[in-house]
Structure 1
Amino acid sequence: MGVVNVTNATEVSGEARNSDDIKVVHSSLTVDHSLETPEVTPRLVELFKDLFKHWSNLDESHFVAETLSGGITNRLLKVSVKEENGNTVQVTVRIYGPNTEYVINRDRELLAIPHLSAAGFGPKLLGTFENGMVQSFIHARTLHASDMRKPKLAAEIAKQLKSFHQVDIPGSKEPQLWNDISKFFKKASNLTFDDCKKQNMYKKISFKEVETEIIKLKELTGHLDAPVVFAHNDLLSGNLMFNDDEEKLYFIDFEYGSYSYRGFDIGNHFNEYAGLDCDYTLYPSKAEQYHFFKHYLNPEKPNEVSDKDLEALYVETTCYMLVSHLYWALWALIQEKMSPITFEYLEYFFQRYNEYKRRKNECFSLAKSYLSQSKTI
């Protein structure tokens, strides 16, 4: 009798699945995000019995829940279910953070997940409920920010990202980046805080200045003709897992995924080398970036990538790296207002926006110099 790692929804729900006709079981139940693990377990048992009918006769002693390392948006739990035949099935439950609909398009996420899973990315989507989802459990460790810069891992991330960008997700292929930033800006620029200290910090922000920066950056990046791909958009260390025994890398959590610009996904990933502490001295050097680019542009023959292609992607990534700072800075303001999770979101805004301002002139100059050699801005 052993542990079963569920890799296909049919193993749980008994319904037919394929990439063209994807059906996922749904429950109208909700699970309180704030409950401690002992208190949340009975609710999870009720949820599982509702979602997965062949577990409906199991009593609560067959279910064991434990909290996994938390992010700053959602709550993640592992649930082990001992079946009547003695096998233990392990699945992951993701409970959405309260008010995350202000920054995440759940319909877009739920549309993408089954197609990404069919392409080999992330865990399988087994079921959904009103404020979360159940997915297969991945036996792997979450990476640390310092892991991402290791040459071998960086090359593997680059290769997988290239494959990820080639997945076809149904629906409009229009890039959503600037639409999302516009929505974030409107929400972030009309907030009030009951806490006087927070309100005073918020008042220091010049949203007119931020809006001007968005306009200038949108215009600049528009000259780069960056390819539009289905992007992960949140490729930080917490969304990368690695099985050391199998030497297998996994991308997880596609809640910010959308059609976007190639350079944004890569530049955003490079920003995450700094970790949540925002130590931007850890941003990858040009040599480290070129190592990544080579394995992204030509996974099979990385050393055959031309200098011209490397320079083009370097400029593209550098410009969209700036966009990433504005995106997450505005996101942080909304989270400060809406999220009950303990995190210094307001401080995070200033860390990201200040880094944007520090890098802005250098990056604009690089882009304008590059563009002047090939076209007129």
Structure 2
Amino acid sequence: MARVLDLRVDKETLERDVPRLIEHIRPEWDPKTIRLRHFSDGLTNFLVGCYSQADSIDADPSACLVRLYGNNTDLIIDREREKRTFETLHAAGCGPPLLATFSNGCSYGYVPGKTLDVRSVRDDAVYPMVVAAMAKMHGIRDGSPAKPVLFETLDRWIGFCAEIMRDARITDRLENSVVPSEEGLSQELGLLKETLIPLGSPVLFCHNDLLIGNIILNESAGKVSFIDYEYAGYNYRGFDIANHFCEFAGINDVDYNLYPDKDLQMKWLKAYLKETNGKIKQKMRKCKITFFFYLGSESSLDGLYVEVNKFALASHFFWGVWALIQTKYSEIDFDFLGYSIIRFTEYFRRKNEFLSL
């Protein structure tokens, strides 16, 4: 059970604040030997790794991460749900332990390895590991109602956009872009609901943010692990897979020519169906997490291909709206508005093609 600590950690005073945190979660560490490693890949929060027992963070089995929540991220992230997700995934053997929460962040176990990149994510030796890890996560049942978060979240987020789109700094850049108005966002969302809900995509326990930076490859162990569960929860299978495919394009230098072609998708999806179809319910002996495997008698390979590519539109829409909100509130040095424009541009570029499948 994660500890709840009444303290705060600030970026400006990390050298002072982190040892105060560490003494609660790693009391065996000598404060004089604590080392910090800064990570810069996250777009929602500030992240620093902590280690003491080895020369590198990957070599220290007791290493941990300290994450400081981004400004106003509580508007888009349910922190209580994130905490439950951490506990669920750790109990199921799918993630590190949550060690503590504090007033403006949390600390959890470090996963050794390296993040995937635009080359390794499509490697024939690597993507089957991603398939297996995703299938395992999709099999989790934690006892809560399996209600998809996609459209509920988007309905709430679009409600924030009216004020954001009145900001002159934002409207000037949006004037000649394809980003819809608030009314246009609602219309497009209605179209997505009408198109995607009838597909009957199974509602499973999903990561919902499988960008390449959230997948850690441990080559020596021959496996991958997923990190960062802020958006995880029950959702449509098609969204989770499609979102991962969209992230083949990268994030700092986005190139949607890297979106997997049909041949690679079919190999990936065939491996996924092999992992999931025909399996029966299993229970972990040491926890109360039930693993559920969607038998998928109607999940033909061609049908899954159509399902996933239609949900790719929802991925672009989801992160396009997300980036609009981040434009106003985030303190991270990243062009969120530019990223929103990129996602909506790709949404409209592929819209007719994917809807016609």
TM-score (structure 2 length as normaliser): 0.86
Q: What's the secondary structure of 2:140's corresponding residue? A: coil
Match in the other structure for 1:365: 356
What amino acid sits opposite 2:125 in the alignment?
K
Match in the other structure for 1:72: 43
Separation in structure 2 between the aligned mates of residue 307 and residue 257 of structure 1, nearest angstrom: 26
Which residues of 2 match residues 136-215 of structure 1 at below 5 A? 136-191=109-164, 196-202=168-174, 205-215=180-190
For residues 232-277 of structure 1, the C-alpha deviation after alignment (integer angstroms, 9 at most, x for no partner) is: 0000111000112222211111110011100000000000011112
1:188 to partner: Cα distance? 2.0
Match in the other structure for 1:287: 263
Which residues of 2 match residues 93-108 of structure 1 at below 5 A? 93-108=66-81
Aligned residues of 1:42 and 1:60 also touching (Cα < 8 A): no
Say if 1:306 and 1:294 are closer, same or farther in 2 by CA, change over 3 A: farther
Aligned residues of 2:205 and 2:233 also touching (Cα < 8 A): yes
Counterpart selection for 1:90 from 63, 88, 91: 63
Decide which structure has the larger Cα Rg and report it.
Answer: 1
For residues 93-116 of structure 1, the C-alpha deviation after alignment (integer angstroms, 9 at most, x for no partner) is: 122112111111111110111110
1:70 to partner: Cα distance? 3.0
1:347 to partner: Cα distance? 0.8
Q: What's the secondary structure of 2:128's corresponding residue? A: helix
Say if 1:185 and 1:61 are closer, same or farther in 2 by CA, change over 3 A: same
Separation in structure 2 between the aligned mates of residue 110 and residue 67 of structure 1, nearest angstrom: 23
Pair 1:352 & 2:343 matched? yes
Pair 1:236 & 2:214 matched? no
What amino acid sits opposite 1:217 in the alignment?
L
1:306 to partner: Cα distance? 9.8
Match in the other structure for 1:369: none
Separation in structure 2 between the aligned mates of residue 215 and residue 88 of structure 1, nearest angstrom: 48
Match in the other structure for 1:320: 311
Size of the alignment, in residue pairs? 331
Pair 1:217 & 2:192 matched? yes
Say if 1:116 and 1:212 are closer, same or farther in 2 by CA, change over 3 A: same
For residues 12-60 of structure 1, the C-alpha deviation after alignment (integer angstroms, 9 at most, x for no partner) is: xxxxxxxxxxx2111011111x32xxx31210111222x33844xx663
Say if 1:59 and 1:75 are closer, same or farther in 2 by CA, change over 3 A: same
Say if 1:157 and 1:67 are closer, same or farther in 2 by CA, change over 3 A: same
For residues 180-236 of structure 1, the C-alpha deviation after alignment (integer angstroms, 9 at most, x for no partner) is: 011111112321576x54331245542222221110111111110110001100001
Match in the other structure for 1:48: 22
Pair 1:341 & 2:332 matched? yes
Aligned residues of 1:143 and 1:242 also touching (Cα < 8 A): yes
For residues 97-149 of structure 1, the C-alpha deviation after alignment (integer angstroms, 9 at most, x for no partner) is: 12111111111110111110111112221111122111112221111122111
Say if 1:287 and 1:110 are closer, same or farther in 2 by CA, change over 3 A: same
Aligned residues of 1:95 and 1:133 also touching (Cα < 8 A): yes
Q: What's the secondary structure of 2:151's corresponding residue? A: helix
Q: What's the secondary structure of 1:201's corresponding residue? A: helix
Say if 1:193 and 1:291 are closer, same or farther in 2 by CA, change over 3 A: same
Match in the other structure for 1:309: 300
Match in the other structure for 1:29: 7
TM-score (structure 1 length as normaliser): 0.82
What amino acid sits opposite 1:318 in the alignment?
N
Aligned residues of 1:41 and 1:64 also touching (Cα < 8 A): no
Counterpart selection for 1:266 from 233, 238, 241: 241
1:317 to partner: Cα distance? 0.4
Match in the other structure for 1:10: none
Aligned residues of 2:99 and 2:109 also touching (Cα < 8 A): yes
Separation in structure 2 between the aligned mates of residue 301 and residue 339 of structure 1, nearest angstrom: 41
Say if 1:252 and 1:329 are closer, same or farther in 2 by CA, change over 3 A: same
Q: What's the secondary structure of 2:52's corresponding residue? A: strand
Match in the other structure for 2:90: 117
Separation in structure 2 between the aligned mates of residue 315 and residue 300 of structure 1, nearest angstrom: 18
Separation in structure 1 between the aligned mates of residue 53 and residue 269 of structure 2, nearest angstrom: 45
Structure 1 residue ranges without an equivalent (≥5):
1-22, 367-377
Identical columns (%): 35
Structure 2 residue ranges without an equivalent (≥5):
55-59, 279-295
